[in-house]
Amino acid sequence: MPTPRRDDWYRAAFGPLVEVAYGHRGPFEANVQLQSLTRVLGWPPGGGPEQGQSPLALDAGCGAGRHLGALLGAGFRSVGVDLSAARLAQARRRRPTASLVRSDLRRLPLAPGRVDLVLSLFSSFGYHGEDGDLAVLAELARVLRPGGSLVLDLPDPDDTAARLVPRSVRRVGGLTLREGRRLAGGSTVVKRVRIERGRDPVAAWVERLRLYTWDEISRRLAASGFDEARLIETRTLPGFGPGRLLVVARSAGPRQAL
């Protein structure tokens, strides 16, 4: 069975078999994470973009929509964006009235300054290569109102390297999930995934996740239209724990032409 091209792996990973690889994360964890962020950051901020409305949050890489209900509970209106039709269908079943959009994060179909908060949780960032990741940050800055906030949840590079499991096998229903992992160039996790039914291959793909240090991501945020970036301590933060870089940054607003 051929492995998808380097830039096309997500079609296999986030297609009909997505629950096999990623179905172990559910809404309970999402609720705990939003409760932690609400407490630490003092959400929701006062006043949405229009008088009398709650602030609008964008879940960038929303997957099956597990954070959408938690955002509602935290006082936000929300819109979920994801590239996977299969994941958005799951989100629609979970949240029939949710506002959901299928889109590449590098090209969001949203007006400038439309949202008050962008969430990018559970390693939704780092899959587009360095230039593509910069394009994602610039696009998130574009759709945020001046002063709006970005919350970026990233794996800590040192912790990831120390804890990397070279091989693992899990059984989900009647399928077997085999995963192999290695660190390439000191900054990219390459994960080979193979799903089998008995001895027969069902799907296979290769994921590449770029790991960013705090210095690297803070420079990229500044170059993309953000300021006041800071790290939130996660070791004792419920829903997150050690091994994460939880970054909060503020949209600096449109840049003035010189």
State the Cα torsion 68-73-75-80 to the nearest 10°: 0
Give residue for tokens 């955002």.
71
Task: Give the integer Cα–Cα distance in Å for 72 and 90.
Answer: 18
At the top level of CATH, the class of 6-42+52-156+213-251 is: alpha beta
Question: Per-residue pLDDT for the chain (258 aa), expressed as one digit of tens each?
Answer: 555 555 567 777 777 777 777 765 667 888 899 999 988 888 765 444 445 678 999 999 998 898 998 898 888 999 999 998 988 998 999 888 889 999 999 999 999 999 999 999 987 899 999 999 999 999 999 999 999 999 999 999 999 999 999 999 999 888 999 999 999 999 999 999 999 999 899 999 999 999 999 999 999 999 999 999 999 999 999 999 999 999 999 999 755 432
What residues have CB less than 8 Å from 150, skipping those under 6 apart? Answer: 117, 118, 120, 140, 141, 144, 221, 226, 247, 248, 249, 250, 251
148 and 116 in contact (C-beta within 8 Å)? yes
Distances in whole angstroms, Cα of residue 61 to Cα of each of 51, 67, 133: 28, 10, 13
**Burial profile 155-174: b = 16 or more Cβ within 10 angstroms, e = fewer:** bbbeebeeeeeeeeeeeeee
pLDDT score at 92: 93
pLDDT score at 3: 56
pTM: 0.89
pLDDT score at 6: 57
